[in-house]
Amino acid sequence: MSGEILSFDLRTADGVSLSGQAWMPPTVHAVVAVVHGIAEHSGRYAALAEQANQRGLGVVSVDLRGHGRSPGERSWVERFDDYLLDVDALLAKAQELAAGRPVFLMGHSMGGAIALRWLAQRRRPVAGLILSSAALKIGGDVPRLLVALAPLLSRWLPHLRGTRIDPATISRDAAAVAAYVADPLVSLQAPPARTGAELLQAMAANRAAAAGLSLPVYLFHGDADRLTDPAGSREIFDLWGGPDRTLRLWLGSRHETFNDLDREAVVAELLDWIVARGRPAV
């Protein structure tokens, strides 16, 4: 099924220009708005989008401020809730493309924390929430001293960057890791202290908010993820306020399950979940 790839720029309520793209099939049954993770960009979801298009699902994403082709210091955010302005613009575009059809919100890693925070703050309806290896709890490869010092560093040395994360933590697939490292739009720097501290605060807020959310939710996580702890997904699953909740842990998978060795099964199960809630089965 051939589709159309759209490129566009969006302007947020605070005046930031975001670069975005959408992958749209000839017949659209639902649209998935994707919030990418820290230090990456929307273009890394092209393979997922192509498979989604084959099921009649459109995919739309933007490069968050400080990421990809969007302006700003790499991975920097002054306040975590600034990212919610980016999601406001993304969801408006998704709804435009959906033209009354269901819209799902998906977030990967830090994007998962952003998506959950957006839902808790905005209280706007979407057909379902998808959390991929969401940053809900810090993983084992994040230095605990850095976590403890995060509030102080954020205040006094907000632009300080620590040791970069080992790219091999994203996947067991050497080709996927090599592509990540070679991607000029991926930032291989560690995030600034301010961004890290803001993310930690958002994690705590998201745990507190989960019980008040009741829309359908699909959480999936690699059980060998060392960047974001799979226990965080389990906690949100247990706290979730609605009955339609699914948690899928992938044995041996690392941070990017959809780019790991079980990618075909990961994506197939994810798309099955969306299709069941967004359109007649195909």
Residues marked as catalytic? 109, 225, 255
Beta strand 128-132 with 30-35 is: unpaired
Q: How crowded is residue 273: how many other Cβ atoms within 10 Å of its Cβ? A: 20
**What are the distances in angstroms from CA 277 to CA 29, 101, 125, 185, 274?**
11, 11, 14, 33, 5
Q: Rounded distance, CA 213 to CA 59, Å? A: 24
Q: Which residues contact 35 (CB under 8 A, 6 or more apart)?
A: 61, 64, 86, 87, 90, 105, 106, 107, 108, 111, 112, 114, 115
**What are the distances in angstroms from CA 265 to CA 42, 95, 220?**
22, 28, 12
What backbone phi and psi angles, to 5 degrees, belong to 39?
70, 5
Sheet bearing 245-250, strands edge to edge: 4-11, 17-24, 57-62, 30-35, 103-108, 128-132, 217-222, 245-250
Q: Kindly provide the b/e burial profile for residues 213-235, where b requires at least 16 CB atoms within 10 angstroms of the residue's own CB.
A: bebbbbbbbbebbbbbbbebbbb
> DSSP per residue over 201-237, as a string?
HHHHHHHHHGGG--S-EEEEEETT-SSB-HHHHHHHH
In the numeric block, the tokens 């705590």 are attached to: 204
CA-based end-to-end distance of the chain: 14
